Structure 1
């Protein structure tokens, strides 16, 4: 690795990076399928999406955040594998959780919402964003300290 230590010595479990990578790729595939579904509904002018601007916007935000955050998860796993950053168990769990909670908040807020406002599940979004921010700081500090 970059500093000559193995992943196990740097505090990794052997399967941790594999699980992060698998979660990232599988979830990325799921969000890509969701994006194709959205495009299909728009292409066929489905009233369930076209006549509901709140749902359309929440679904687009869920798709965008889901795909991009899973790319971040994959990149973090690759950087940890190369020894560029240190991911402890709690940092990895925080990142993996934020990648799920943030886009899920948009998705659920679009499925069940009020007339002109997102649903109650929108409160998952700032929770996931704060968790993502805290995790990003922890990863950044771990990379700068070495």
Structure 2
């Protein structure tokens, strides 16, 4: 069985966050959702748990960071093409996200952009030509 990942994100407005992630193609799993949390299924193995601040505080005694002001994590998802990277960012902007809070990366064999969700959590979207990347890395190792 593949390992599952559950990404826990504190959100200020649960309904707004659910709508944002649904607009990006995630589906809400009602089995693990209530008025304090929503389990958003991104893929068979990736789940984003949107938690109200009160719910999030049940899991940690640390202060909840304002992701618009500080960075604690950068989340990265793969895309099947360069066009899919740009489309994902466009979809996020259309759903209320902010485009490109981190620099666009274009190395020829790898291309990435990012967006912020309504609470400031940064999602990077990355495409990579694996064969070209291996060639580029192999070339760098031979030069070293």
- TM-score bucket (shorter structure): under 0.3
Larger proportion of strand: 2
Normalising by structure 2, what TM-score? Answer: 0.27
TM-score, normalized by length of structure 1? 0.26
- Which one has more relative contact order, counting CA pairs under 8 Å at least 6 apart? 1
Higher share of residues assigned helix: 1
